[in-house]
Amino acid sequence: MALTFTPEGIYCRAGDFHIDPWRPVARALITHGHADHAREGHGAYLATDLAAPVMRHRLGEITLDTIRYGETRRIGGATVSFHPAGHVPGSAQIRVEVGGEVWVVSGDYKLGADALSTPFEPVRCHHFVTECTFGLPVFDWPAEADVAAEINGWWAANAAVGRFSLLGAYALGKAQRVLGLLDPGIAPILTHGAIENTNAVMRGQGIALPDTEYVTPDMDPKQRRGALVLAPPGALSGPWARRFRPASTGFASGWMRLRGVRRRRAADRGFVLSDHADWAGLNRAIAETGASHIHVTHGYTSIFARWLTEQGYDADIVQTEFTGETLEDEA
């Protein structure tokens, strides 16, 4: 088999490399820069040129080689290429061909296009390794324009009465996608340091984002009433957020489709916005690969693998340390 599943991660013996390994290895091919896929400690890394700046920002001095979407590279006895996953800027599906057998490791992906990431492209293969973070029919994503209208309407109503709008979104990808949906004419946009640092990296890549103001320890919130404050989810429940009063709290996540999750987070508003595929997107992506063998990695694995088997696929569950979308800080 072109790929096997080992305690270190997904392994290609022919090329002697791993894909998104969770234990230190000599050579790692990385789908994208989120912390559960791009980890410290590997000898050498290969990722897309678009993912490289964030990876260097997060991992520091690493030995990192880059590859463009669609570029073919021979590594030992394997032929590899990286293809858009639509998840976050630079995210990729990794195609591996050995002896005519083709595998695609999707990492995390979504099919709905946005203004931030290169749109998902289906890749034909025999074996497809897929996430299923939102692998239940209840997860169906609204149109992005509708979500933008909801967020801006909530923010404008809060600003009109002098309330802050505290919005939780993880620092890489989701926060910048939210920024692209905001109407800067409503009030100032303030950002947590983790988000502003990532913003700086992406602006350095030429990605356009609206003007934001980094929240410093000496900032006087009273001078910015009505602002939207964008922060990682974990920051909204601690002392960092308490300076912004009065406030309404919201979260932008696919998990906001479940009312119980919003209640547990004590959120006033939940906005359904995810960088992962919903139920329909997962099924469509799998069908478009033409693969008969589906390997399910993280999410609702048991339910989704059973569903795929009922649809005629040869489906199995692979135990990994990937986490998918959470309402905790990704790091």
Judge whether 141 and 225 are in contact, CB under 8 Å. Answer: no
Helix 193-204 vs helix 52-59: crossing angle, to nearest 10: 140
Return the SS3 of 192.
coil
Q: pLDDT > 90: what percent of the chain?
A: 94
User: 0.85 cut: is pTM over it?
Assistant: yes
**DSSP secondary structure code for residue 120 in this structure:** P
Residues 6+ apart with CB under 8 A from 251: 167, 168, 169, 233, 236, 262, 265, 267, 269, 270, 271, 327
Cα separation values, 43 from 39, 82, 89, Å: 11, 20, 24
Distance CA 247, CA 225 (A): 9
**Does residue 214 register a pLDDT over 90?**
yes
Distance CA 178, CA 113 (A): 14
Residues facing residue 51 across a β-bridge: none
Question: What's the pLDDT band for 329 if we cut at 50, 70, 90?
Answer: low
**Does residue 331 register a pLDDT over 60?**
no
> In the prediction, which pLDDT does 327 show?
75
